[in-house]
Structure 1
Amino acid sequence: MVFKLQEKGIIFNSEIKEQSWLWQEAHINDFDGISVIIYHKEKNLKSPHWRIN
């Protein structure tokens, strides 16, 4: 999604960053200056390796 928005000329505050909690995120501000985070979580987030049973 981020790449498609960038192709349309949307400017992000940060590049896509791989987070240690297993998702990627990019930061952008809306028209009022409010910070918005666009993220994609990995499919194994439902059952992460650090989960305690």
Structure 2
Amino acid sequence: MRLNQVTVTMPDLDAGWVFYRKLGLEPIVDARPHYVRFVCPDGGSSFSLHQGEATAGGTTVYFECDDLDLTVSRLIEAGILFASSPADKSWLWREAEVFDPAGNRIVLYFAGTNRLDPPWRVPASPAQ
């Protein structure tokens, strides 16, 4: 099984379009004002916005960046305001936090091998 796409709700898809283009996502469907879909620059997954009223605090989306600090610097220069600067976390990821125009929490991060293989990973169990 592979994750294909994540969709978040946003009242203003024009604002979302600008924000996610600045993050580096490439549009593949533009059905504004109701729906837009982007492809992520790496990995082949997609990300979409559906027009509707935002719900506070319900969605967090993680985008992995190979060079987090450089990516954050580039986005700050493009006018993106971050809620937190890149910082090393106790779970061995480096993260920076930003909120999109609808208030969805977006975490840009780098985890390397710790993303799927942290030191505390649960051992594989036999099939049941």
Q: TM-score, normalised by structure 2?
A: 0.35
5+ residue gaps, structure 2? 1-70, 124-128
Indicate if the aligned counterparts of 1:22 and 1:42 stay in contact, CA closer than 8 A.
Answer: no
- Tell me which residue corresponds to 2:83: 13
Matched, 1:41 2:115: no
Cα distance in 2 between the residues matched to 1:27 and 1:21: 16
- Tell me which residue corresponds to 1:4: 74
- Tell me which residue corresponds to 2:44: none
Q: TM-score, normalised by structure 1?
A: 0.72
- Tell me which residue corresponds to 1:30: 100
5+ residue gaps, structure 1? none
Greater Rg over alpha carbons, structure: 2
Query: If each structure's strand is expressed as a fraction of its own residues, which one has the higher value?
Result: 2
CA-based RMSD? 1.8
Secondary structure of the structure 2 residue equivalent to 1:9: coil
Q: Give the length in aligned residue pairs.
A: 52
Cα distance in 1 between the residues matched to 2:72 and 2:97: 10
Give the ranges of 4+ consecutive aligned residues of structure 1 lying more than 2 Å apart after TM superposition: 46-53
